[in-house]
Amino acid sequence: MAEFDYDLFVIGAGSGGVRASRIAAGHGARAAVAEEFRVGGTCVIRGCVPKKLLVYASQFAEELHDTAKLGWTIGQKSFDWAALRDFVASDVDRLERAYTSTLDNNKVDHFHERATIAGPNTVRLASGREISAKYILVAVGAWPVMPEFPGNEHAITSNEVFHLENFPKRVVIQGAGYIALEFAGIFNALGAHVTVVNRSDKILRSYDESLTDRLLTMMRARGVEFRFNAPIESIIKQSDGSLCVNTKGFLPIEADAVLVATGRKPKTPGLGLENAGIELGPNGQIPVDEYNATSCPSIYAVGDVTDRVQLTPVAIREGHAFADTVFGGKPRTIAYDHIPSAVFSQPPLAGVGLTEAAARAAGHDIKIYTSDFRPMKNMFATRAERGFYKLIVDTATDKVIGVHMIGPDAPEILQAVAIAVKAGLTKADFDDTVALHPSMAEELVLMR
C-alpha cells in the first residue's frame, strides 16, 4: 500500500493550483485539489476575466456615440445591466466547466469543500475527513481588504460587484489602484456618476508618473470625480435605500453603491499553517524560497498567497515550476523582473521594466524617448485624447530597460514589446526595425 493517499494535495483550484496539479499528474503524480468555492479561482470567477468583459461592454457604449462620424445611423439606444451581468455570469460558468474538465482529463481528483492543514502531510476537509499527501501545495490566493469604519457592511468589494441586482446611477469607489480605476471606467462609461476617493494623493503608484498623470486628466475629462486624501469615515444607509458616504475633509456624497478596492491580502486566516510550524509574514503571506518551498519540507505555496507578485500569469508559472521541480526532476525558478502589467482603464495603460523614477533610483544613467500623438481611431471620437509612449534607455549599454504607454490597445501592444525588453534589445535594435504603417505601434520604432 502507498504510504500516502496522494503524492500531491493542492488547496485551492485557481490558476496556480490547477496548473500545478495538471503538470504534476502529467509527471505521474497522484494528485488531488480541494476548492471551497468554484473551480477557476479569482481571475476566472471574480476577477480579470469577467471584469475585462465589462470593460469591453462599457467601451462599446462610448463607440456608439461616434457612429455618426463613421456613417452609421443608429436608432434608439438603451442599456440593460441585467442582460450584461447575466451574460458575464454565463461565461464564467463556461470557464469553470472548462477548468473542471482540465482536472478530469488529467485524472486529478477534486473535492468541492474547504481544506485546511492538519499537519505536515495531512489536510482536513470541511466534512471532517483527513487525507494524507507526500506534498501539500497551498494556492488559495488573496482576498479583498475591507477597512474598518462605521457602516462598512453597506460597502461591496470586487467579489460582489459582478452580481449587483440593479445598475447603480451613483457610485463611490475607495482606492486608486488598478481594480478601483478599472471599475471607475466601467461604471462611468455605462452612465453612472463615479466618485473615486483615496487616502493619498496618488493613483497607480507602481506605474510611471508620465502615464498616471495623463490618465488622471483623461478620467476627469470623462466625468470621473476624484477626492484625494479623503478616506471613507462612515457610510449611512438612508430610508430610501441610498447611501450617504462621509469622507475626511469633504462634504458627504450620495451614492447607490460603494465599492471598496483598497488592496488584497493573502487568504491565510484559519488555514492551519501553524499545525505544520509555518509562520506567516507581516501581510499574512506564506514565506517561500525561490522554489516555492515553505519552512516545512513537505509544504509549498504559489500565487497570491505568497504576496510576491499578485498576477495570474505569475501564479501559473509558479505552479508549473513547482510541479516540474518536485515531480518532474527539472528544478526551475521564476524570474520576477520584466513582468509586463496593464491597467484596463479607459484609456488603458501598460508598462514593462523600470519606470523613470525607479531607473534613476537604481543609479542608471538614462535617456528618455517619448512620442505624444493622437491615435487614428480617436479621430472619430468626440474627445481629442492623445496617446503617449515612453522608452527608458540605459545610456551605458543602449538597452531599453523600460517601456510605458497609454492609449487604445496599449496592453495588446505592450505584450509584444515586452519580449524585446526581456531579451535585452537596444534602442538601436528598435531603430533598425521597419515601422508597420499606419499603426500606433510604429511609434515604438520611430522615436529619435
Residue 94: how many other CB atoms lie within 10 Å: 11
* C-alpha cell belonging to residue 150: 462605521
Q: Is the peptide bond before 438 cis (omega within 30 degrees of 0)?
A: yes
Cβ neighbors of 321 (< 8 A, separation 6 or more) are: 291, 292, 332, 333, 334
5: left (phi over 0), alpha (psi -120 to 50) or beta: alpha
Residue 19: how many other CB atoms lie within 10 Å: 24
* Torsions phi, psi for 283 (to 5 deg): -100, 15
Confirm whether 338 is a catalytic residue.
Answer: no
Check 110, 112, 163, 437 and give the catalytic one. 437
266's enclosing H/E stretch is strand 264-266
Closest listed residue to residue 305, CA positions, set 162, 136, 126, 158: 136
DSSP label at 156? B
Cβ neighbors of 227 (< 8 A, separation 6 or more) are: 195, 196, 197, 198, 247, 250
Q: Locate cell 501598460: which residue? A: 350
Q: Which residues are catalytic?
A: 437
